[in-house]
């Protein structure tokens, strides 16, 4: 039943042989799958700049232009840097791998942990923004904003569990619809500007003095606008997902994404200034811009609703970038033994299912904690991406120094510029948004300590399991099999028969309680009738606990067996119901006993299973 239900939602398992080129991404699909986060951020990034500046005065809006230029400069620097990372580290891992290889494993863990948390925030911010867009169009759904967000997370989780290529194909329509509709809006706006039909309504001319304007406000506006660059690193984390030649296709996809993102950000920033648009409660700047450019005609209204629909769609699906990058990053960290090995396992559809499920669960927890409030999530979202940005830029500077020696400056120029800007953004956030971002630091501290503990565990396990010369080879004189008997049934009879086939000596044991004293006598007699040559040890207990006296007796048997140089096998009989759901009708004592006995170092615990027909 579970298998059928799973296949209905996720699809039939794929053979590993089908994982070749057919399961990998071309540039068009990869752009849709890995750039939705970065491209969707222009729906709120430029607006964040205007919100900060407008909090002082409408006269300050012209400052969005130079601030926008600095954001574009940072975008160019990050693009060059991540192209270098793609070629230098084609196995994926992005900032984590760069920082780990060039700075230190500990700093690599900080970068990796930051990105893991940031991908959860990516999902949370994207779906909450998408839910906001949906409830803005349908106000009756506003009380269910959080429910819609969680539903979208579950939908994207199922989509990604179905497989990489199916997910990418499904996302091509909303991503390319948004790109086409936004590019058309901006080009049409520029055309109207050039023909004079879009009049100049700026709140102040460029260069106009703004009373009380401070460098602090400008820096806050810049950090807010830099939120538009979140998601730029996703392609570098997912290079293994590309078709061959992987590095070339990934680098070209990153360049295409950055060019589109840069054009959209620049166009929105400039037209917003030209049209003199101010923030309004209940309507985004992008929505006001679309109405102003497209007009009030029938086709204008139609175009406006298409644009709003495409914006809502990409905000909802932007979370998919996290679903693509998180599992790959978790895989690389698990490969280095900093995360559980289960993150290296592929599911039925050849995706890293455990990473997908973990990401979805983490995003839903964040949505519940912050009640789906986008504004409260964005500061954490920003610090979560700029810490690894800064570390990766520093790591690439060290990389070029090792590769080129004293001639490292030329290839590292973009990295140096990017590092300076990224560290500046982190410092600005620390000084001016600490009250919003403080949870990030204890989370990263706990994650880093957890990664180190996991790594230490794997090292200790490897050390204890490793073969070495002179290891003692031991031979035994026999095997003693101890069968646990609850009742004399087909199960226990079959278990005794099996024990006799593998054991040189067979014992049986039964636990008697006061409540079952009369029945226990019948069991002892029945056992003696069936197996007169086998000793059944009846252990009486004044309590209802069966496990403790069992462990004590097993320990005693084990000590006696060691004196004779015998191994000890504890055989636990159990019956398997015909239907899986029927397990809940039984007490599962055999499972409890096996779990309790597994910690005993000197015995082998085995099961004898009897399968019921009905």
> Each residue of 313-344: pLDDT tens digit?
887 777 777 887 888 889 889 999 999 999 98
**380 and 522 together in one domain:** no
**134 and 196 together in one domain:** yes
**510 and 607 together in one domain:** yes
**How much of the chain is helix, strand and coil, in % rounded to 5?**
70, 5, 20
Higher pLDDT, 346 or 198: 198
The answer to whether residue 13 sits within a structural domain is: no
pTM beyond 0.85: no
Rounded percentage of the chain residues whose pLDDT exceeds 70: 92
pLDDT confidence of residue 149: 87
Residue where a domain stops, chosen among 426, 457, 488: 457
pLDDT band for position 21 (50/70/90)?
very low
pLDDT band for position 453 (50/70/90)?
very high
pLDDT for residue 478 is more than 60: yes
Spatial distance between the Cα atoms of 157 and 552, rounded to a whole number of angstroms: 47
* pLDDT (average), residues 237-255: 87
pLDDT for residue 8 is more than 70: no
**492 and 449 together in one domain:** no
pLDDT confidence of residue 2: 46
Most confidently predicted of 165-174, 220-229, 528-537, 588-597: 528-537
pLDDT confidence of residue 163: 66
**349 and 483 together in one domain:** no
Domain span including residue 320: 29-457
**444 and 506 together in one domain:** no
For β-strands 478-484 and 566-576, DSSP reports them as parallel
The answer to whether residue 433 sits within a structural domain is: yes
Spatial distance between the Cα atoms of 221 and 44, rounded to a whole number of angstroms: 13
Domain of 77, CATH number, reads 1.20.1740.10
pLDDT confidence of residue 480: 92
Q: DSSP for 40-80?
A: HGGGTHHHHHHHHHHTT-GGGGGGHHHHHHHHHHHHHHHHH
Residue 604, SS3?
A: strand
The answer to whether residue 4 sits within a structural domain is: no
Query: 314-318, 352-356, 482-486: which range is least confident on average?
Result: 314-318
**495 and 553 together in one domain:** yes
Query: 242-256, 486-500, 549-563, 575-589: which range is least confident on average?
Result: 575-589
Locate 383 and state its tokens. Answer: 């610090």
Residue where a domain stops, chosen among 425, 457, 489: 457
Structural domains counted in the chain: 2
Spatial distance between the Cα atoms of 562 and 539, rounded to a whole number of angstroms: 22
Secondary structure string (H, E, C) spanning 505-525: EEEEEEEEEHHHHHHHHHHHH
Report phi then psi at 490, rounded to 5.
-60, -30
The answer to whether residue 11 sits within a structural domain is: no
Diameter of the chain measured on Cα atoms: 107
The answer to whether residue 14 sits within a structural domain is: no
**441 and 574 together in one domain:** no
Higher pLDDT, 272 or 515: 272
Residue where a domain stops, chosen among 403, 423, 457: 457
Angstrom distances, CA of residue 212 to CA of 53, 59, 65: 11, 11, 19
Domain of 601, CATH number, reads 3.40.50.620
The answer to whether residue 121 sits within a structural domain is: yes
182 in Cβ contact with 312 (< 8 Å): no
Higher pLDDT, 182 or 614: 182
**438 and 492 together in one domain:** no
Spatial distance between the Cα atoms of 409 and 411, rounded to a whole number of angstroms: 6
**258 and 293 together in one domain:** yes
- Helices 145-161, 105-137: crossing angle, 10 deg rounding: 120
């Amino acid at each position: 039943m579970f298998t059928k239900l799973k296949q209905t939602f996720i699809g039939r398992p794929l053979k590993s042989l089908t994982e070749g080129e057919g399961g990998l991404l071309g540039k068009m699909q990869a752009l849709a799958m890995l750039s939705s986060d970065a491209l969707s951020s222009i729906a709120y990034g430029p607006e964040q700049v205007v919100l900060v500046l407008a909090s002082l005065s409408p006269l300050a809006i012209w400052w969005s232009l130079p601030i926008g230029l600095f954001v574009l400069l940072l975008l160019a620097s990050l693009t060059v840097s991540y192209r270098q990372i793609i070629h230098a580290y084609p196995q994926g891992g992005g900032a984590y791998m760069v920082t780990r290889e060039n700075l230190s494993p500990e700093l690599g863990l900080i970068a990796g942990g930051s990105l893991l948390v940031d991908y959860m925030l990516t999902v949370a911010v994207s779906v909450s923004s998408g839910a906001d867009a949906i409830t803005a169009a349908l106000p009756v759904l506003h009380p269910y904003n959080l429910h819609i967000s969680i539903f979208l997370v579950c939908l994207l989780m199922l989509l990604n569990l179905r497989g990489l290529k199916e997910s990418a194909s499904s996302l091509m329509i909303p991503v390319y619809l948004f790109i086409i509709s936004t590019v058309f809006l901006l080009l049409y706006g520029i055309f109207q500007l050039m023909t004079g039909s879009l009049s100049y309504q700026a709140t102040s001319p460029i260069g106009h003095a703004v009373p009380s304007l401070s460098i602090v406000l400008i820096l806050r506006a810049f950090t807010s606008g830099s939120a538009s660059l979140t998601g730029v690193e996703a392609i570098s984390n997912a290079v293994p997902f590309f078709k061959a030649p992987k590095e070339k296709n990934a680098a070209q996809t990153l360049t295409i994404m950055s060019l589109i993102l840069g054009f959209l950000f620049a166009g929105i920033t400039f037209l917003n200034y030209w049209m003199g648009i101010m923030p309004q409660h209940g309507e985004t700047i992008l929505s006001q811009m679309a109405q102003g450019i497209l007009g009030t005609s029938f086709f204008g209204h139609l175009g406006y609703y298409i644009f709003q629909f495409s914006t809502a769609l990409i905000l909802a699906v932007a979370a998919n970038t996290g679903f693509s990058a998180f599992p790959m990053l978790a895989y690389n960290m698990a490969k280095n033994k900093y995360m559980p090995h289960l993150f290296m396992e592929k599911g039925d559809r050849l995706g890293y299912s455990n990473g997908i499920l973990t990401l979805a669960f983490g995003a839903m927890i964040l949505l519940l904690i912050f009640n789906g409030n986008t504004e409260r999530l964005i500061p954490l979202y920003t610090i979560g991406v700029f810490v690894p940005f800064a570390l990766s830029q520093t790591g690439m500077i060290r990389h070029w120094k090792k590769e080129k020696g004293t001639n490292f400056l030329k290839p590292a120029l973009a990295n140096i510029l990017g590092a300076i800007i990224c560290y500046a953004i982190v410092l600005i956030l620390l000084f001016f948004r600490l009250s919003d971002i403080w949870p990030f630091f204890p989370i990263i501290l706990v994650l880093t300590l957890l990664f180190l503990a996991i790594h230490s565990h794997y090292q200790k396990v490897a050390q204890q399991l490793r073969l070495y010369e002179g290891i003692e080879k031991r031979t035994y004189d026999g095997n003693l099999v101890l069968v646990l008997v609850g009742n004399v049934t087909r199960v226990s009879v079959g278990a005794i028969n099996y024990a006799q086939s593998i054991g040189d000596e067979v014992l049986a044991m039964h636990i008697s309680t006061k409540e079952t004293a009369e029945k226990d006598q019948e069991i002892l007699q029945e056992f003696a009738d069936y197996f007169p040559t086998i000793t059944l040890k009846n252990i009486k207990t004044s309590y209802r606990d069966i496990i403790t006296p069992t462990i004590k007796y097993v320990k005693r048997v084990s000590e006696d067996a060691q004196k004779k140089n015998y191994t000890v096998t504890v055989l636990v009989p159990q019956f398997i119901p015909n239907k899986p759901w029927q397990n809940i009708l039984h007490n599962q004592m055999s499972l409890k006993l096996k779990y309790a006995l597994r910690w005993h170092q000197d015995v082998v615990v085995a099961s004898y299973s009897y399968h019921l027909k009905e």
